């Protein structure tokens, strides 16, 4: 349960730094121009956005056990402001999530389950646990 005792932002940032060491995980060409959803005005400005999103996906998949791309699109979605009208919820970009998940699969951090989506593999779970443990150790 140490993954849940650590502050999520610190955990995601630490995992993002460790994901940079994996050769299978890299930002696709042109990804710095991609918006994360159709209702966003600008693309993310962080340099290491791709690694942060992959780390966030890894943590979310661990949290919800088995989850598919469509449910992840809902989780990363937001509100679509329609001018003077009412706001509505909208889904995030599926391509960013799908490509990131494919890279995490190549790195053997997650695996596909039958019909239910993806779940964290043993290597991915140990990466999460080790990172959370090291953050807790630094705190003391």
Residue 114 confidence (pLDDT): 86
Band of residue 130 on the pLDDT scale cut at 50, 70, 90: very high
> Rounded to an integer, what distance in angstroms lies between the CA atom of residue 24 and that of residue 53?
15
2-139 CATH pick, 3.40.50.10860, 2.40.37.20, 1.10.10.10, 4.10.95.10: 1.10.10.10
**Looking at residue 128, what is its pLDDT?**
94
Backbone φ, ψ for residue 120 (5° rounding): -75, 135
Query: Which pLDDT belongs to residue 140?
Result: 61
Determine which helix (DSSP H) or strand (DSSP E) holds 79, and give its type and residue range.
strand 78-80
Token couple for 88: 């509505």
Q: Which of 43-47, 72-76, 96-100, 121-125 has the lowest mean pLDDT?
A: 43-47
Q: Say what the pTM is.
A: 0.89
pLDDT at 4: 87
Distance from C-alpha of 27 to C-alpha of 46, rounded to nearest angstrom:
12
The pLDDT, as a whole number, for residue 1 is 53
User: For the segment 35-94, what is each residue's pLDDT rounded down to a tens digit?
Assistant: 888 778 778 878 889 999 999 999 999 999 899 999 999 998 888 887 787 888 889 988
- Domain ranges in the chain are 2-139
H helix intervals, the chain? 2-5, 8-19, 49-64, 69-75, 94-106, 122-139
Instruction: Please provide the average confidence, as pLDDT, over all residues in the chain.
Output: 89
Residue 79, pLDDT score: 84
């Amino acid at each position: 349960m140490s993954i849940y005792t650590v502050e999520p932002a610190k955990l995601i940032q630490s995992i993002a730094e460790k994901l940079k060491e994996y050769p299978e995980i890299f930002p696709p060409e042109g990804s710095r121009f991609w918006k994360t959803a159709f209702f966003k005005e600008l693309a993310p400005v962080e340099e290491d956005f791709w690694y942060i999103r992959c780390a966030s996906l890894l943590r979310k998949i661990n949290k919800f056990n088995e989850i598919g791309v469509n449910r992840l699109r809902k989780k990363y979605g937001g509100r679509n402001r329609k001018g003077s009208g009412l706001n509505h919820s909208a889904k995030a970009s599926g391509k960013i999530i799908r490509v990131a998940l494919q890279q995490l699969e190549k790195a053997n951090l997650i695996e596909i389950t039958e019909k239910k989506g993806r779940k964290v593999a043993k290597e991915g779970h140990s990466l999460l646990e080790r990172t959370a443990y090291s953050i807790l150790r630094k705190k003391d």
